[in-house]
């Protein structure tokens, strides 16, 4: 990068793929295989994911992107008269252009704190639906959608997740976790939710590839085999079936070989922690505490403008009291040099 | 390949990508860019496609796969009360798991000959709808869907396509061409429909990548700028927006640099022609004439079984008179050695 | 009717309601009741229908019209990856403006003879789906849709219906019968399918009101209680829930009191039989044999034009050999005088 | 009514129809007419409504019920990438079982005060969408949905409605008003919004029949002819087309003859005003001010229980401070005697 170029910290999907993935794609490139995910690379990737999740019976499917995965899974989990509970800040509620509604389902939003829902709020909502005399004129909640980490970089603790699972079981709700940035949660020192925990607690969750080192791809894990009948056809119907399924398979096989997925998460968290430390030292304020690979700076407008000239960050929002929140995201590709330069600029 | 391994001629998507694509992905891998197709690689790919199509104003979008592209484009072209005319053998009518209906639209099927529709049949159907006293109780045709080459490897001539365009214009129908295997049409000696012709005649068409040398990806071309409003959002709503849009952009930039897309088509046709010649010499029958990269062998049952032990082909259908139709497909990746061996086996 | 007015035989829904229904609506008009079908009139109507069907456990719901009923029931019976098998002449395939597809489902059409499907054709289709290697890329058949009588006025015999039921059971298909004109089937001398038979053989069927003497309304019968969960909500979601449910309830209570539904069917058949007899005597040809309240005249074009000047009939189709098919429909409201005058004109 | 029976004030659709409607249905019952709303009664009803609205060019359609009307109109007004703005208490947001989402569209809810939205809030929302950098990843607002009177019995003033119209025009939003109880707004002394105002300000609105004296039926008014293309087919596709269209036509013709619609509204308001006066005298509290035919009593729990034993009211909600809100609704059918008895009980 030339000296006069801007530093890029706007998102965690600004590069291609982790070099090891490219290497493996090149290595296997001319081997012939059948399509639609019935190849041996995909089989191996599924097996490695089952093992990492301690879920030997799990159904695993690879889709191309997050919105597609959310729309397909949620549509498959819901019956026509049901809707999905989500935080009002949840990705499916805001930034998926109505993909859930396109599939015919309502997103039932609850207020959130820094991207998170609580077991108590979900329970109150489910109970209030149950006790509503007019409930048969309304949309029945059928699925709870969470993100781990959330869109605000925050984490559910194991205790919180268990409590939510308890509510779900009590009210017949399926629990679905969006893990678009799961690597960055798993690698976070204060995280206590493992892949095995997710496999134990969720009806479905996905392990994000696109934002965690792959060219593209998300791995849908359904721990209980057969929970979703005809899911292959549902995926096809949603336009989400990859003809060359192996391309996703090879990527996830690579991510789950020799700890690469952990390593990817780890390096991003190390970079983010260094930045957070520098921010604290230099007296910057953060909009809220986020321990993963996203940092939300609370800046004066002039400060924001000045910084933006030198660092490409993500615009998050303008607060009511006149501040600007900007997002810094690190990834597997963030170099120590870029972190050094960023700290210097700060 | 070991001597005792079966020859693979089952489909045209059994490998990764053309090596030049992988090389270019590796070369650009660590360059940072913004997401969702606003990067410079994608911009360059769009420009190269516009030039190849002689359509400087065209809108170009990159999606991940064929079913997704068909569902998204057709949904965007139709109003809620309209349906899409297709051959009863058309991909959208048969092998997309109801993706068009999932989007709320009826596929209005017409009988086809070897995968093709005629202008006359389309006109008869459109006129009969227009003259139907009860037409307001029925689905209005809004789009004509063709495949070039068709699912049966056959081709529309320029004359045929012009005639269909004429009918479409006369009846207010949009014309959409599915080019999943377009490279193999363009490279075919007897083909007289160029990219420029498609850009002149179609409202929308797509240039296939997945089956023509890319890891994945289809390039949607809308020659008349602005024909489909808010198409970016429609793509997102269908779960078809790639976060790392550059991955598709880089692939198509490569395919449309130094004639690679033509070269890919050409080598597959050369291979298919050699096989066709050998078939004729040895007295094999073909189910029908197909000049592109797909060959449809009409075999006795025992013949089919014997061959299948040595060559992996695609099963197509059992005919009513007890024969079996098997498909042989060549691609950019078919080696001269494999063709030699296949001819030897035949 | 003035002497110079045209006779009206165009359809079976040209009047208001059977006078007894209006009388009963007036009688109960100022009695207060709760909404949405929880009133005592509706309860009584349901009970009378259960008794008439010999199905004491049946769930019964009242909807407003035929297309609405078909779309709601079929959507409730299908899962998202499934479609409905219908004759290519079936109402849902042709004259419902794509209402089934609007709900996300494909209509899988089979050729029909005079409106009817055969068990053999359904079985062949279901088996061919089952044996298709690519079936997971296609729409799975989930429901068989029949009309009794058909759109062509023809009837399924008990034997035919039992054979179809057998195929449905063998292939896991639900059987749904559209009884928009059921009264005219039940009253037909050659019919041998009773309400009890329908309740025994169908998963769901509906007893038509709109075309059989009511102002509007169709009674959906689900013989096996609980087969469709949350059907009340599905009805509401389809916009098909009547706020003043009693208006439908009172009408069906009246239709199923003192044999009124039978009487309505009977008088229409008597009228149709008289007309059929006269047609035969006078040498008219019928396009095909239809024993219920619809008669399909095969006319020379000039003959059709001449008749149309004196009698309002329904235009059905132009045959390929230059004839015109016109439909005569009788109903509960057809008077002996009108039949006399029609015969005279013929 | 027997002395010991409960008084019924639970809703405004507890009876059949205004007697004049029944009389007219009986009078026309045996006249023959064509179906689907092409009869002379429907033509006359449309003309009378056009005159009452001062909108000689208006398109008018008759549908069966409110949810159906909302789902059909909103789906027809929106393009696939758009959603509808509504109060979070709006009928479409709460009590229509997800009918809007079933049609593929998101309901974009805004906080409301006693059922109402303000021009300012709508403008803020529309502007915030417009200024959102990520707006192409979100659902674009396309329609504003209001109810007049609202679900809480409150009214928009002409000034408020004009302001909202101004915002709609400024942001390219269509304005749609749900008039399920419109008669009770029009008859309210403090109302200053006439049918002519609605026709001037709305893109579409509907004049409620079901809750205002009809057996069923809502009249959709589209003041600008041709605004919604193919609306007849859209209605059919939604299962909302009445085969015997005349039944709705005759009812609305009656409602708009000799001021019956006004009279119906007037008598309900007189009754409600008498009750309101008595409530004030006796020291009862109302949850909020509602000037139309619905009254919302704020009761202690014991008080609510005691009253409920004698008067059937609608349960509305439990407030956070332990009170119960019960709804009293009057209608065209509320007798002076019932009002007397209610006041006595109070």
Peptide bond into B149 cis (omega under 30): yes
Give Cα separations from C316 to B133, B139, C180 (angstroms): 10, 18, 18
Q: What per-residue confidence (pLDDT) applies to C4?
A: 52
Q: For tokens 């009773």, what's the residue?
A: C194
In contact, B44 and B103? CB cutoff 8 Å: no
| pLDDT tens by residue, A23-66 | 999 999 999 999 999 999 999 999 999 999 999 999 999 999 99
Give Cα separations from D96 to A22, A268, C39 (angstroms): 50, 46, 21
Q: What per-residue confidence (pLDDT) applies to C3?
A: 45
Kindly give, in sequence order, each residue whose CB lies less than 8 Å from that of residue A130, ignoring residues fewer than 6 positions away: A171
Pairwise CB contact (< 8 Å): B134 & C95: yes
Pairwise CB contact (< 8 Å): A236 & C80: no
Pairwise CB contact (< 8 Å): A238 & B242: no
Identify all chain C residues contacting D238, using CB atoms and an 8 Å cutoff. Answer: 99, 102, 239
Alpha helices in chain C (DSSP H): 19-27, 40-53, 66-77, 91-94, 99-102, 119-131, 158-171, 182-186, 195-201, 231-237, 245-255, 260-281, 301-308, 336-345
**Is pLDDT at D165 greater than 80 in this prediction?**
yes
**Residue A190 corresponds to which tokens in the numbers above?**
């204060």
Minimal Cβ distance to D71: which of C14, C67, C239: C239
Give dist(CA A222, CA A160) in Å, integer: 21
**Is pLDDT at A1 greater than 50 in this prediction?**
no
Closest CA to C195 of C63, C52, C44: C52
Give dist(CA D20, CA C19) in Å, integer: 17
Q: Nearest chain D residue to A102 by CA: give it.
A: D104
Q: What count of residues does chain C have?
A: 346
Alpha helices in C282-328 (DSSP H): 301-308
Give dist(CA C62, CA B8) in Å, integer: 58
How many residue pairs from chains C and D have C-beta atoms closer than 8 A? Answer: 155
* Other residues' Cβ atoms within 10 Å of the Cβ of residue A315: 15
Give dist(CA B184, CA A47) in Å, integer: 37
Q: Nearest chain C residue to A80 by CA: give it.
A: C234
CA D146 vs. chain centroid, Å, equals 9
Phi, psi (deg, nearest 5) at residue A177:
-115, 125
**Is pLDDT at C166 greater than 80 in this prediction?**
yes
Phi, psi (deg, nearest 5) at residue D205:
-145, 165
Give Cα separations from A203 to A118, A159, A269 (angstroms): 18, 17, 28
| pLDDT tens by residue, A183-239 | 999 999 999 999 999 999 999 999 999 999 999 999 999 999 999 999 999 999 999
Minimal Cβ distance to A30: which of B15, B31, B102: B15
Which chains have 3+ CB pairs within 8 A of B? Answer: A, C, D
Identify all chain A residues contacting C233, using CB atoms and an 8 Å cutoff. Answer: 81, 136-137, 140
Output the 3-class SS for A281-314: HCCCEECCCCCCCEEEEEECHHHHHHHHHHEECE
| ipTM > 0.90, yes or no | yes
Per DSSP, what are the bridge partners of residue C325? C298, C317
Q: Nearest chain A residue to B314 by CA: give it.
A: A34
Kindly give, in sequence order, each residue whose CB lies less than 8 Å from that of residue A21, ignoring residues fewer than 6 positions away: A213, A214, A215, A250, A251, A254, A255
Closest CA to A144 of A173, A182, A120: A173
| pLDDT tens by residue, A134-155 | 999 999 999 999 999 999 999 9
Q: Nearest chain B residue to D79 by CA: give it.
A: B79
| pLDDT tens by residue, D175-203 | 999 999 999 999 999 999 999 999 999 99
CA atoms within 13 A on the CB side of A180: 24
- Percent helix, strand, coil in chain C (nearest 5)? 40, 20, 40
| pLDDT tens by residue, D74-99 | 999 999 999 999 999 999 999 999 99
Q: How far apart are the first and last CA of chain D?
A: 19
Give dist(CA D331, CA A296) in Å, integer: 56
Minimal Cβ distance to B239: which of A31, A234, A238: A238
Which chains have 3+ CB pairs within 8 A of D? Answer: A, B, C
Give dist(CA A229, CA D43) in Å, integer: 51
Pairwise CB contact (< 8 Å): D25 & C239: no
Closest CA to B129 of B188, B76, B170: B170
Give dist(CA C282, CA D266) in Å, integer: 62
Q: For tokens 């309505």, what's the residue?
A: C264
Chain D nearest-CA distance from C269, in A, is 19
Mean per-residue pLDDT of chain B:
96
Identify all chain C residues contacting A137, using CB atoms and an 8 Å cutoff. Answer: 233, 236, 241
| pLDDT tens by residue, D94-143 | 999 999 999 999 999 999 999 999 999 999 999 999 999 999 999 999 99
Give Cα separations from D172 to D90, D103, D166 (angstroms): 21, 21, 10
Phi, psi (deg, nearest 5) at residue C82:
-110, 160
How many residue pairs from chains A and C have C-beta atoms closer than 8 A? Answer: 39
**Residue C157 corresponds to which tokens in the numbers above?**
């015999």
In contact, A123 and A171? CB cutoff 8 Å: yes
| pLDDT tens by residue, D287-333 | 999 999 999 999 998 999 999 899 999 999 888 888 999 999 999 99
Q: Please give the domain boundaries of chain B with CATH numbers for all domains.
A: 7-15+260-345 (3.90.1150.10), 19-255 (3.40.640.10)
**Residue B11 corresponds to which tokens in the numbers above?**
């489909």
Helices (H) and strands (E) in chain C, counts: 14, 13
pTM exceeding the 0.90 threshold for the entire prediction? yes
Give dist(CA C215, CA D251) in Å, integer: 12
Q: What per-residue confidence (pLDDT) applies to C35?
A: 96
């Amino acid at each position: 990068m030339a000296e006069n170029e801007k530093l890029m910290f706007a998102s965690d999907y600004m590069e291609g793929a982790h070099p090891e993935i490219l290497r493996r794609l090149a290595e296997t490139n001319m081997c012939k295989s059948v399509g639609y995910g019935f190849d041996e690379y995909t089989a191996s990737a599924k097996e490695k994911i089952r093992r990492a999740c301690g879920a030997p019976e799990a159904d695993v499917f690879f889709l191309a992107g997050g919105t597609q995965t959310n729309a397909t899974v949620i549509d498959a989990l819901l019956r026509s008269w049901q809707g999905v509970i989500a935080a009002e800040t949840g990705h499916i509620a805001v930034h998926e252009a109505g993909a859930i509604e396109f599939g015919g389902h309502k997103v039932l939003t609850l207020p959130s704190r820094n991207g998170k829902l609580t077991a108590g709020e979900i329970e109150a909502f489910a109970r209030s639906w149950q006790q509503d005399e007019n409930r048969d004129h309304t949309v029945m909640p059928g699925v709870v959608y969470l993100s781990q980490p959330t869109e605000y970089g925050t984490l559910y603790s194991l205790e919180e997740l268990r409590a939510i699972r308890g509510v779900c079981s009590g009210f017949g709700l399926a629990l679905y976790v969006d893990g678009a940035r799961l690597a960055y949660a798993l690698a976070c020192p204060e995280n206590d939710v493992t892949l095995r925990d997710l496999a134990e607690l969720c009806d479905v969750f996905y392990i994000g590839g696109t934002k965690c080192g792959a060219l593209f791809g998300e791995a849908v894990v359904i721990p209980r085999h057969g929970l979703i009948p005809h899911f292959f056809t549902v995926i096809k119907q949603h336009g989400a079936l990859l003809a060359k399924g192996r391309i996703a398979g090879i990527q996830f096989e690579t991510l789950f070989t020799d700890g690469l997925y952990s390593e990817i998460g780890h390096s991003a968290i190390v970079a983010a922690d260094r930045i957070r430390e520098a921010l604290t030292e230099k007296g910057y304020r953060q909009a809220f505490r986020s321990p993963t690979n996203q940092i939300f700076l609370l800046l004066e407008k002039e400060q924001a403008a000045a910084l933006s000239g030198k660092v490409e960050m993500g615009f998050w929002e303008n607060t009511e009291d006149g501040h600007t929140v900007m997002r810094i995201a690190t990834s597997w590709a963030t170099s120590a040099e870029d972190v050094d330069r960023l700290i210097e600029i700060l």
